[in-house]
Structure 1
Amino acid sequence: MDSHHQTAHRMGLTALTIMTASNMMGSGVFMLPSSLARIGSISVWGWVLTFCGVLALALVFAKVSELAPCKGGVIANIGHAFGPYIGLQATLFYWLSTWIGNCALLVSGVGYLAYFFPILLKPLYAALTCITLLWGFVILGLQGARIVGYAQIFTGSCMLIVILSIGISGWFHFDYGLYTQFYNVTNQSNTHAIMAAAVISLWGFLGIESASVSEAQVINPKRNIPLATICGLAIAALCYISSSNVIMGILPHSQLLASTSPFADTARFLWGPTVGQCISAMAIIACLGAMPGWQILQTEVPRSAAEAGLFPRMFAATNQRGVAYKGLICTASLMTGVILLTISPNLEQQFRTIITLAISACLIPYAFAAVSLPVVMVAKKLRHSRQFAVYSSLSLLGLAFIVVVLMGAGTQALYWGVMMQMITIPLYLLFVIRQQTFKGTPVTPFFSEQCFGHGPSVPNSAGNTDGRYRIDTVYKED
């Protein structure tokens, strides 16, 4: 396939920015008001804390993409900075978080669809609808990133209409007394409530790395990825903070807690059932429209890992449009299983269960990705520059934020995090065995020219090379 044909299926800056914002907002905005209502309006401080932490991570991720662009983005760079075991662990965790999070997208979309078809409030019908929609998006995803980008311009526009119609117009009907009446309903301290809100709010910003991870599907990635990352974050943050707080000052607290479609219910409360139906219809399009963008993420990271020998080779297989089709079908099958296993009589409860799993999976790769930037800068001999001090501080700030979120996530997130970490130990053994089995065949070493060009192998005690690469030559200067 020639380079011109490959470029024809890639995304430009506009589509990439909308995909980044859409991935973040589509991953949480439409159900988050109901989830945050269980904490109270004090959750606004959780939003502020989360925005500061995610902004630090966004700047770090953008800088990594500028200094060390490669397939798989910042997630792939973790392995280059810390070695194949950490690379395997981070890639596996991130991969889990993407396709588990996609299950929450489907649940949220079906929650709004139930506005029109109340039968979908029944758990079995809701699950079957989620699965049907899932496989429909698999068919769309197989058509290539450019088609996905065009689709997300339309669905992202629907998302902005829904959010801004409530987030701007709703302030004219905002009831401050109602907003402050349920300030902290957790029966815990304010500090604990803010930390708990930060955990849920972080779910809303998952996808900040979307542009970086999609590097192989982007036109002019060195310029477009940093711009799309920062612009996408700004759009998402503005929409989130405005809409989620104004809804708490409009809908009665008891109604918001029980709502499976808070934006549609707010529109109906303000402007009547007809407008409520229009908002619900656009929310369905917008929420489910984020699915194709997330499908790119859930295939590009394992694709990069497969090319590096960390994942099975089937994840690297692509169709004529450059889509890792086997990986897409595999993750869709796993998502089908998660949807069936998490069926709950309450859609909001199912949503919270799924996002807890997704957040548990994403925290470790985010932590390593934050620290990978100083490693890259040292390897590129930039540690004596002013930028090194600034970006190292941002990396530490991002890492501290992740620690706070982990503390606020509670024992369930810690439990799942430890369990998933244990799973990576035998998987790494399989990776080592596989590398030995395929020795002498074209299996790409983890430190490779995939991103930065081959560096000379490090001689072992016998004077032979053993496949290890020096970090200063892996991250060689341009």
Structure 2
Amino acid sequence: MSTATTTPQREPATDTPPVDRHSRRFGLPIATALVMGNIIGGGIFLLPASVAPYGTVSLVAFGVLTLGAIALALVFGRLAHRLPQTGGPYVYARAAFGDFAGFLAAWSYWITAWVSNAALAVAAVGYLDVIVPIHASKPATIAAALAFQWLPALANLAGTRYVGAVQIVATVLKFVPLILVAVGGLFFFDGANLGPFHPAQGSTLGAVSASAAILLFSYLGVESAAVSAGEVRDPRRNVGRATVLGTLGAAAVYLLGTLSVFGTVPHDRLVTSTAPFSDATNAMVGGSWGGTAVACMAMVSILGALNGWTLLSAQAPYAAARDGLFPKAFTVKRRGVPTVGVLVTVVLASLLTVYNYTAGTQGVFEILVLVTTFTATVPYLLSTAAQIYFLLSGQSEKVSRARLARDAFLALAAFGFSLWLVAGSGYAAVYQGVLFLFVGVLVYAFMAARKQRAAAPAG
């Protein structure tokens, strides 16, 4: 097992540049689009309805969440400058605390990625239902959700060159409905639609925490550029910039968009909506054609998010597999993409989607979102703790005291923010998430033993 005192001291080597004509390293624009594309995915298109039961206090939660997400983005930028390698949280946790911590970060992040893909597919089906009513047929609903997962997987298998192209197009198209509602909705804003400030039962603080736990799903992806640092040109410079720029852009669109939906769709209708942005557009234009157009663009946006998340879901196990902590098959890479990771991820997400729809469609999206909230906070906590370790152990770069104090403050703020999200995700989500983690511990025991036998001298 690598030790915390020696691993961080060696100069990290970046991944070997791709030579396949189907692969291409990302520059700052595509890296920023990857961050924004993964943050602004399908989550925002359904989350206003998911948090509506908590009242307009969820807007306060969105504001707090935005500050926490920016703190996380800045921490990931600093960590990527120090360790510009593919793997993100896995690389940082392993460098600071050794193999087991690195494995937990990779395992949790991997779970987050494929469960998120299942949740995004559910959100996409809600908007497809606006165009082609399929909610009455469970087989049709399941088939549509699976199609939304497998199309991006096929794009990934074609190579990173095509992943970047799809991401740029999807990121541009997704801004049309979001800006339409975020800006145009303010002109149709009606305070009577807002509903209660917070639910009658429970405290305001509890409502803020609970809604923030759901809303975290909308900010998953702040680490996108860091996870794919090996595919980014000049990662020490571009990863941090792309992370901050992508997060700030997403935050502005999120806050305005959610406020506009709350103000244009009556609260009692918003609570049960499966396509809140389409409902908001219909309220603005006084017909159904606007909602249909928004639904089409929302599906393109979600496909873009699935495209980026499918790539990320393969990167963390790829990095861990290179170090012998995941099965070696995950190191298979063609056209710049870890193909085995992509295939395993889409199969698991598909099975989870089928299971949840078969068990009952009530609250499928919310259930999946809360599970990802817990699993996402594990690599976030480990990454911020790694940054605190680097700063306190004297292994940080030689910078001014003011810069050192700022980095320490941001790391502590991001750690506290992540811990608060764990508390707000609820007992059921923590319970299921812990079960996922314990399965990972068994996998680690197997892989660590295998690695030890391979390293042992013969005889």
Structure 2 distance, partners of 1:121, 1:158, is: 29
Structure 2 distance, partners of 1:381, 1:183, is: 45
Report which stretch shifted further, 381-390 or 412-421.
Answer: 381-390
Kept in 1, the 8 Å contact 2:26–2:233? The answer is yes
Q: 1:456 corresponds to which residue?
A: none
SS at match of 1:185: coil
- Select the residue among 64, 78, 96 that pairs with 1:49: 64
1:213 and 2:223 equivalent?
no
1:276 and 2:294 equivalent?
no
1:81 and 2:96 equivalent?
yes
Kept in 2, the 8 Å contact 1:295–1:328? The answer is yes
Alpha-carbon distance change, 216 to 3 in structure 1, aligned in 2, over 3 angstroms: closer
Q: 1:393 corresponds to which residue?
A: 409
Structure 1 distance, partners of 2:301, 2:244, is: 21
> Taking structure 1 as the reference length, what is the TM-score of the superposition?
0.88
- Select the residue among 114, 123, 128 that pairs with 1:99: 114
Offset from partner CA, 1:89-138 (integer Å, 9 cap, x none): 11101100011101111111111011111124533321111112322221
Kept in 2, the 8 Å contact 1:113–1:120? The answer is no
SS at match of 1:184: coil
Q: 1:261 corresponds to which residue?
A: 275
Please state how far the C-alpha of 1:79 moved relative to its aligned partner.
1.1
Q: How does 1:33-432 map to 2 (within 5 A)?
A: 33-179=48-194, 181-185=195-199, 187-271=201-285, 272-319=287-334, 321-343=335-357, 349-377=363-391, 378=393, 380-382=395-397, 385-386=400-401, 387-432=403-448
Counting matched residue pairs gives 439
Structure 1 distance, partners of 2:421, 2:18, is: 44
- The one-letter code sitting in structure 1 at the alignment partner of 2:336 is G
- The one-letter code sitting in structure 2 at the alignment partner of 1:349 is G
Structure 1 distance, partners of 2:93, 2:359, is: 40
Alpha-carbon distance change, 367 to 253 in structure 1, aligned in 2, over 3 angstroms: same
Kept in 2, the 8 Å contact 1:342–1:353? The answer is no
- The one-letter code sitting in structure 1 at the alignment partner of 2:162 is I
- The one-letter code sitting in structure 1 at the alignment partner of 2:106 is T
Please state how far the C-alpha of 1:349 moved relative to its aligned partner.
1.1
Structure 1 distance, partners of 2:207, 2:268, is: 19
Please state how far the C-alpha of 1:383 moved relative to its aligned partner.
7.8
Please state how far the C-alpha of 1:285 moved relative to its aligned partner.
0.8
- The one-letter code sitting in structure 2 at the alignment partner of 1:21 is M
Offset from partner CA, 1:345-401 (integer Å, 9 cap, x none): 975711111111111211111101111113234353548842222211111111111
- The one-letter code sitting in structure 2 at the alignment partner of 1:82 is F
Offset from partner CA, 1:168-208 (integer Å, 9 cap, x none): 010011012322x3221262111111111211121110010
Q: 1:5 corresponds to which residue?
A: 19
Kept in 1, the 8 Å contact 2:388–2:412? The answer is no
Offset from partner CA, 1:404-456 (integer Å, 9 cap, x none): 11221121122123323322332222122111232269xxxxxxxxxxxxxxx
Structure 2 distance, partners of 1:298, 1:163, is: 26
Q: 2:33 corresponds to which residue?
A: 18
Offset from partner CA, 1:446-467 (integer Å, 9 cap, x none): xxxxxxxxxxxxxxxxxxxxxx
Offset from partner CA, 1:122-163 (integer Å, 9 cap, x none): 333211111123222211111122211111111111111110
Please state how far the C-alpha of 1:402 moved relative to its aligned partner.
1.4
- The one-letter code sitting in structure 1 at the alignment partner of 2:374 is S
Structure 2 distance, partners of 1:371, 1:164, is: 36
SS at match of 2:131: coil
Kept in 1, the 8 Å contact 2:62–2:212? The answer is yes
Structure 1 distance, partners of 2:61, 2:82, is: 32
> Taking structure 2 as the reference length, what is the TM-score of the superposition?
0.91
Structure 2 distance, partners of 1:394, 1:356, is: 25
- The one-letter code sitting in structure 1 at the alignment partner of 2:307 is P
* Over 6 Å off, 4+ runs: none
Kept in 2, the 8 Å contact 1:73–1:214? The answer is yes
Offset from partner CA, 1:5-51 (integer Å, 9 cap, x none): 35852222111111111101104111001101111111111011111
RMSD over equivalenced CA pairs, Å: 2.0
Structure 2 unaligned spans of 5+:
1-14
